[in-house]
Structure 1
Amino acid sequence: MHYQKSCMIREANAMTKRPLPPLSALHGFDAAARHLSFTKAADELFVTQGAISRQIRQLEEHLGVPLFRRFTRRIELTDAGEEFHSVVAGVLDQLSNVTQRIKRRQDIDILTVSVLPSFASAWLMPRLYLFTEKHPRIEVRLHTSIDPVVFGSSGPDVAIRVGRVPGKHYDRNQPRVELEMIENWRGIHIDELLPDRLVAICTPRLIEERGKLTPREIAELPLIHTTSRRFAWPDWLQAHGVSRGTRSENSLELGHFFMSIQAAGQGRGVAIVPDIIANEDLEMGRLAVAYESDVNSAGDYCLLIPDNDLDHPPVKCFREWLLEEIANSFRREAKPVEA
Structure 2
Amino acid sequence: MRRRLPPLTTLRPFEATARLGSFTQAARELSLTQGAVSQQVRNLEDFLGVRLFERHARRLDLSEAGRQFYASARRALDDLERSTARIVARGARETVTLTTMPTLATVWLMPRLSSFTSLHPDIDLRLMTSIEPADLHAGGVDVAIRVGKLPGRSYRRDRAHIDLVMTERWDGIVADPLFPDALVPVASQALLAAGPPIATAADVLQYPLIHTVSRQRAWQDWFQAHGLAFHPRADAPEFGHFFISMQAALEGMGIALVPELIYHYARQQSTNLTAAWLPAVRSAGEYYVLTHESQDTSPAVQAVRQWLGEQAGATRAQHGLDDSV
Matched, 1:162 2:144: no
2:183 is aligned with 1:198: yes
Whether the aligned pair in 1 keeps the contact of 2:191 and 2:254 (CA below 8 Å) is no
Aligned length: 232
- Matching residue of 1:215: 201
- Aligned pairs for 1:240-279 within 5 A: 240-247=226-233, 249=235, 251-279=236-264
**Residues 155 and 204 of structure 1: CA distance in aligned 2, closer, same or farther (over 3 Å):** same
TM-superposed deviation, 1:336: 7.4
* CA 1:334–1:291: 2 relative to 1, 3 Å: farther
Aligned to 2:285: 299
1:219 Cα offset (Å): 1.7
CA offset digits 1:166-191 (Å, max 9, x no partner): 12221111111111100110100010
Q: Which has the larger radius of gyration?
A: 1
Alignment partner of 1:124 is 2:119? no
From 292, 313, 316, give the equivalent of 1:327.
Answer: 313
Once residues 323 and 290 of structure 2 are traced to their aligned partners in structure 1, the CA distance between those partners, rounded to angstroms, is 27
Aligned partner of 1:220: which letter?
Answer: Q
Q: Give 1:334 shift.
A: 5.3
Moved over 6 A (4+): none
Q: Is residue 222–residue 248 contact of structure 1 (8 Å, CA) maintained in 2?
A: no
Q: Are residue 141 (structure 1) and residue 119 (structure 2) matched? A: no
Q: TM-score, length-normalised on structure 2?
A: 0.68
Cα pair 2:107 2:266 within 8 Å, conserved:
no
Instruction: Please tell me the residue identity of whatever aligns with 1:224.
Output: I
1:109–1:333 Cα change, 3 Å: closer
Q: What's the offset of the Cα at 1:211? A: 4.2
Is the contact made by 1:165 and 1:299 (CA closer than 8 Å) also made in structure 2?
yes
- Measured at CA, do residues 153 and 245 of structure 1 come closer, stay the same or move farther in structure 2, by a change above 3 Å? closer
User: Equivalent residues in 2 for 1:19-34 (5 A)?
Assistant: none
Q: Is the 8 A contact 1:207 1:213 kept in 2?
A: no
What TM-score does the superposition give when structure 1 sets the normalisation length? 0.65
Matched with 1:282 is: 267
Distance in 1 (CA, whole Å) between partners of 2:323 and 2:193 is 23
SS at match of 1:237: helix
Whole-angstrom distance in 2 between the partners of 1:336 and 1:192: 15
In structure 1, C-alpha distance between the alignment counterparts of 2:138 and 2:160, rounded to whole Å: 35
Deviation at 1:222, TM superposition (A): 0.7
How far apart, in 2, do the equivalents of 1:316 and 1:201 lie?
Answer: 36
What CA distance in whole angstroms lies between the structure 2 residues aligned with 1:333 and 1:136? Answer: 31
Change (3 A) 1:115 1:308: same
- State how far apart, in whole Å, the 1-side matches of 2:149 and 2:309 are: 19
Contact (CA 8 Å) 1:293, 1:335: kept in 2 or not? Answer: no
| Matched AA of 2:96 | L
Report the alpha carbon displacement of residue 333 of structure 1 after superposing the two structures with TM: 4.6
Tell me, what secondary structure is at the counterpart of 1:320?
Answer: helix
C-alpha displacement at 1:226, in angstroms? 0.5
Counterpart for residue 231 of structure 1: 217
Instruction: Give the fraction of aligned pairs with identical amino acids, expressed as a percent.
Output: 40
8 Å Cα contact 1:200-1:273 kept in structure 2: yes
Distance in 2 (CA, whole Å) between partners of 1:220 and 1:335 is: 31
1:169 counterpart letter in structure 2 = S
User: What SS does the aligned partner of 2:311 have?
Assistant: helix
Distance 1:318 1:335 in 2: 24
Distance 2:286 2:226 in 1: 21
Shift of 1:106: 5.4
